[in-house]
Amino acid sequence: MFFSRLGAGLALAVGALSLSACSTGTAPIANYEPDAFGDSMYTRHYAATPAQTCEAARRALLSQGYVITDAKEKEVTGRKLFQPDVKHHVQMEFRVVCALDGADRSLAFASATQDQYVAKPASNSASVGVGGIGSLSLPFQGGLDSMVKISSQTVTNQDVYDSLFTLMKGYLSSVERIHWKPDETKPVDAKPADQGTTAQKPAAQKAKNDGSPP
């Protein structure tokens, strides 16, 4: 009887703790709307084609130690890792998209995301035999740490984007502009002349000038 009441009491206590934990959990943010969609810090106009602008973006990111993870004619993505302290790791990723904005003009769209990670030691458990009781499972810290993401957000510091766009403008002057055109001095379907016909032309021309038959 005593044990049945004790079991019922423990069940009620566990249920109450569970409800308490659920009630004290962090509630989601409702109707979070940070963007006003006005003049954006993430865009910049350039007097260059989209391919040239994205090539300048690629060189700008490379000059700052970013690893280019994707490079296309009109899109470039670069990534860089930071470690502010022993436990914290930060990953920055820039993405630049270049769109046509008139004849020999382009519009660059840049966005940067920052992911933060924390190193946490991996927890393991070991069974220890205790006389008269049995075995106990005791946790201990392993030698390998795991990286846990704690934050991910878009960078909203305007100085960061201004610095990138300024650096891109500087590299535009060094981007090689190649305008390929086919060689118009030679016919495309030119065929070698008939040697026999070519050899007869001088003789025929000489005979015409002398008035004698060839």
**Mean pLDDT, rounded, for 69-92:** 94
- 174's CB contacts (< 8 A; 6+ apart) are 59
**Mean pLDDT, rounded, for 142-165:** 88
Whether the pLDDT of residue 48 is over 50: the answer is yes
Q: Where is average pLDDT lowest: 104-113, 142-151, 172-181?
A: 172-181
Answer yes or no: is 127 within a domain.
Answer: no
Answer yes or no: is 5 within a domain.
Answer: no
% residues pLDDT > 70 (the chain): 57
Answer yes or no: is 57 within a domain.
Answer: yes
Q: Where is average pLDDT lowest: 37-41, 77-81, 89-93?
A: 37-41
Mapping DSSP to helix (H, G, I), strand (E, B) and coil, where does residue 170 land? helix
Q: If pLDDT is split at 50, 70 and 90, which confidence band does 6 have?
A: very low
Q: Which residue has the tokens 């001088």?
A: 202
Answer yes or no: is 50 within a domain.
Answer: yes
Q: Measure the CA–CA gap between 78 and 66, rounded to whole angstroms.
A: 5
Q: How many domains does the chain have?
A: 1
The angle at the Cα of 37, spanning 35 to 41, to the nearest 5 degrees, equals: 90
CATH of the domain at 101: 3.30.310.80
Whether the pLDDT of residue 75 is over 50: the answer is yes
Whether the pLDDT of residue 5 is over 60: the answer is no
Q: If pLDDT is split at 50, 70 and 90, which confidence band does 7 have?
A: very low
Mean pLDDT of the chain: 75
Tokens of 197: 């016909």
Let me know: does 49 contact 106? Beta carbons within 8 Å: yes
Measuring CA to CA, which residue among 97, 92, 91 is closest to residue 112?
A: 92
Answer yes or no: is 26 within a domain.
Answer: no
177 vs 175, which has greater pLDDT?
175
Q: Measure the CA–CA gap between 141 and 121, rounded to whole angstroms.
A: 6
Please tell me what DSSP assigns to residue 39.
S
What letter represents residue 15's amino acid? G
Q: Measure the CA–CA gap between 180 and 188, rounded to whole angstroms.
A: 16
Q: Which domain holds residue 72?
A: 43-80+93-112+152-178
Let me know: does 55 contact 96? Beta carbons within 8 Å: no
Let me know: does 54 contact 74? Beta carbons within 8 Å: yes
**Mean pLDDT, rounded, for 172-200:** 55
pLDDT at position 211: 57
